[in-house]
A and B are shown apart, each in its own frame.
Chain A
Amino acid sequence: MPAKAIRLLLLAVKQLVRHPVRTSLTLLGVASGMFLFTTVQTMHTSLDRATRVRAADTTLVVYRENRFCPQTSRLPEYYENEIRAIPGVREVIPIKVTVNNCGASLDVITFRGVPPGQLARYAPEIAVIGGSYNDWKSRDDGALVGKQLADKRGLQPGDAFEAVGVRVIVSGIIDSPLPQDNAVAYVHLPFLQQASRHGLGVVTQFNVRVEAGHDLKRVAQAIDTRFKSESEPTVTQPEKAFFAQTARELVDLIGFTRWIGYGAVLAVVGLIANAVLLVVRGRVRENAILQTVGFPESAVGFVVVSEGAVLGFVGSCAGIVLAAVFLAWRGLTLGNEGQTLALVPDASVLVSGLVLALVLGMVAALGPAWVAMRRPIVESLRR
């Protein structure tokens, strides 16, 4: 940036810093708007991560045909061996899912019952960051609790934990690159089958890993064909498509929130434009003096636009950082039909929020800058 532009930017910063009350109130408003925007954007990017099927995805979910809730999807556990025999299947794991609330909820607790000997093989990406995996394996009522759920409930290894009528002991805290694993508790399959009173031998779904991403469709068709004439027919989909379909209420709800995000952005633009316009109106004579001492109109406009940009940038920094801290602290998850969506802000949301706010600040200040630039000097000096 040329030295002159930096000097003008510093002049704009002085104008803001030396009107602390006015500037603080504007920043508070901008931060609130960008807090809301970041939260909404985080919901969208989290949903996108959970639902957009990518070429590298290799996971299928086998569910009971025409069922969308884990309470009603009941499949025989023996399907596991038949699925494993289908060409292209690398690994399969039966899962019993129990949730405290099938509807869309912010406070969902999900138990996933899995055969204890299979979890590490099926999901090697899961890391135990507290407690012991072996303790979990050896203990019938042990639970591996996702770190987000543990943070939210304040759980430590050794704690007892009860929900949905299921009482478990926390054997370990787990961390996974797959956000939904961090919001659930893994327990032994037989334990959950008995605790949920559906009995042994019945599971909610099978998660299947295939050899290669391009095999997903073929393997899914093969699985559904195999069980088509059984009493419990299946529908098999890529995991993310399954999420999108099963948690449709959640998807619709989050889709709607996009408008709230746009509203927040508009509010930020309006707030900055109003604040800068008031500044310009209150500084008519000062701007005329700048022009009298030799500032060209463009320099006066640059100072005004810089003030808008600084308000947008600093306010959004505060709002975005607050949103990121809030989401990390609260460990928010949205649940629907046994699917959990962890709201995890990522760098792209934070950076795009900052860039957006910077641009919005400048755009919002363009009108007031034009007003400041075009007012005749003599007329302004008389005010």
Chain B
Amino acid sequence: MSEVLIHCHKLTKHYKKGTLTVTPLEALDLDVERGEFLALMGPSGSGKTTLLNLLAGIDSPSEGVLEVCGEDISRLSRGRLARWRARHVGYIFQLYHLVPVLTAFENVELPLLLDNMSRRARRERVENTLALVGLQDRMHHYPRELSGGQEQRVAIARALVASPDLLVADEPTGDLDREAGDAVLELLERLGTVHGKTIVMVTHDPHAADTAHRLLRLEKGRLLEAETMHHAG
């Protein structure tokens, strides 16, 4: 029997914008199994990124149940939530968001800085992760010295380095050309199938969504339909 890694029940997020109350996500029910590769699609403002931020523990729900990796993260304090993120989630951004003054190695090392690892173990882990994304020869380059595709692979390495259970990716190919985008999608797919990572990816690109096992469509904060892809594992 498959293990549910993400469990959302009546998950709602609303916030104040002036006198208005905006509800980007409303009463969403969702279960995601461990090792699943899920794609989220929908028009702008449909709540995709809000859902991703909630799953990654960088935003908190207004109502509902949100259990990720066996923890009700809506109840965690800010400090405990930070530790939880370090252990369980890797976040991949559309614009990579690398720290410009740090090398590829140092960017990937960031999530391990607060870990109780020896320097040698840390270096090995970072080098292995950079090798996994095919960038072992670029580890001492700064982001400005890398192409967009390479930057995104560094960002993926940074998301992977602490061996999280869950990878969340916000339009990871949105800023890349087709060739670089395909390489990133191939990498994500491999992380799911070979390394057993659970991946939740927001995308506008149907071609990117094809890589996933399951596609969910969101509109106005609500789940419209679920579609199982032909190559679901």
Q: A377 at interface (Cβ–Cβ under 8 A)? A: yes
B110 to chain A, nearest CB (A): 5
The answer to whether A296 touches B83 (Cβ under 8 A) is yes
B27 to chain A, nearest CB (A): 21
Give the contact-size bracket for chain B.
20 to 34
Query: Which B residues touch A328, using CB under 8 A?
Result: none
Q: A128 at interface (Cβ–Cβ under 8 A)? A: no
Q: A119 at interface (Cβ–Cβ under 8 A)? A: no
Q: A295 at interface (Cβ–Cβ under 8 A)? A: yes
C-alpha gap A84/B91 in the complex (Å):
89
Report the tally of A-B residue pairs with Cβ distances under 8 A. 70
B85-132: which have CB < 8 Å to A?
A: 85-87, 90-91, 93, 97, 99, 101-102, 106, 110-111, 113-114, 116
Task: Pick the contact of A19: B59, B85, B101, B102 (CB < 8 A).
Answer: B101
Chain A 259-298 interface 0/1 with B at a Cβ cutoff of 8 Å (1 = within): 0000000000000000000000000011011111111111
Task: Pick the contact of A18: B90, B101, B113 (CB < 8 A).
Answer: B101
The answer to whether B56 touches A292 (Cβ under 8 A) is yes
The answer to whether B113 touches A4 (Cβ under 8 A) is yes
Known: A7-B113, A378-B58. A294 touches B101 (CB 8 A): no
Query: Which B residues touch A286, using CB under 8 A?
Result: 97, 99
Q: B79 at interface (Cβ–Cβ under 8 A)? A: yes
A350 to chain B, nearest CB (A): 32
C-alpha gap A197/B231 in the complex (Å):
114
C-alpha gap A3/B122 in the complex (Å):
13
The answer to whether A291 touches B110 (Cβ under 8 A) is no
Task: Pick the contact of B110: A4, A15, A285, A293 (CB < 8 A).
Answer: A293
Q: B136 at interface (Cβ–Cβ under 8 A)? A: no
The answer to whether A295 touches B101 (Cβ under 8 A) is no
Task: Pick the contact of B82: A3, A15, A295 (CB < 8 A).
Answer: A295
Known: A291-B58, A297-B79, A377-B58. A14 touches B106 (CB 8 A): yes
The answer to whether A14 touches B101 (Cβ under 8 A) is yes
The answer to whether A294 touches B82 (Cβ under 8 A) is yes
Name the CB-closest residue of A to B117. A3
Name the CB-closest residue of B to A300. B82
Q: B9 at interface (Cβ–Cβ under 8 A)? A: no
Q: List 9 A-B contacts (CB under 8 A).
A: A3-B116, A7-B114, A18-B102, A293-B111, A293-B162, A294-B87, A295-B114, A297-B78, A378-B59
